[in-house]
Structure 1
């Protein structure tokens, strides 16, 4: 039986209507794929609290979490992931990659140009269709 993992992702949008994307490093699972940054929920955490903690830990900035965008379950070769994505805004600091290989701000209509992890693609499609 495959391990089930519940994760959350932040769709952080700036004043120029660009979205913050992070490239997974070669040392992470799903290496060299882009994602909306976030991570695993810990016991007793809400998705909003988990996102605030993960973004602070991995990018050294603070966010305000807004509405849910997508809730996707995707089965990879060795695990099943449930990814909940939420719109978010930076409230303090500038994101700096601590674990990821790269980051970039991308216009909604250009999100499809990045090689996203499969679980993130339904959220990418929804963001592009809302443009």
Structure 2
């Protein structure tokens, strides 16, 4: 069975928000785009809005769906569904994560990422590059 998980690429001032998993979470200490599991009957967008509010105390609007990634972690398989999101407000309060950074796209490759987030990070960097070159 595949678990659907959404993640938010929250952009502000040319930077994107990334979060570091805590010591007690699976994939401990690795970096990811924040998000969470889609609950039964919930849309991907509603899941993102809820999860980002619960985990980070931020208000966002999902804008554009990027390419989902299917990743196996041991006996679990997830489909990680990324969205470019608009930051609407709020002050970050970490509920689950150890740390967060606002990062310019060209520096994202310098972080130690969860495997499922790597292709999403690469797609985002490519999209950001297109924005700057056009």
TM-score band w.r.t. shorter chain: over 0.9
Q: Which residue of 2 aligns with 1:13?
A: 11
- Asked if residue 84 in structure 1 is aligned to residue 81 in structure 2, the reply is yes
In structure 1, the residue matched to 2:67 is 70
Q: Distance in 2 between matches of 1:96 and 1:17?
A: 21
What are the residue-to-residue correspondences of 1:30-109 with 2, within 5 Å? 30-109=27-106
Q: Distance in 2 between matches of 1:63 and 1:38?
A: 12
TM-score (norm 2): 0.91
Q: How far apart in 2 are the matches of 1:99 and 1:19?
A: 19
Question: How many residues are paired up?
Answer: 128
What is the CA RMSD across the aligned residues, in angstroms? 1.0
Output the CA distance in 1 between the equivalents of 2:104 and 2:96: 23
The structural deviation recorded for 1:118 is 0.5
Moved runs in structure 1, 4+ residues, more than 3 A? Answer: none
Q: With structure 1 as the length reference, what TM-score do the two structures score?
A: 0.93
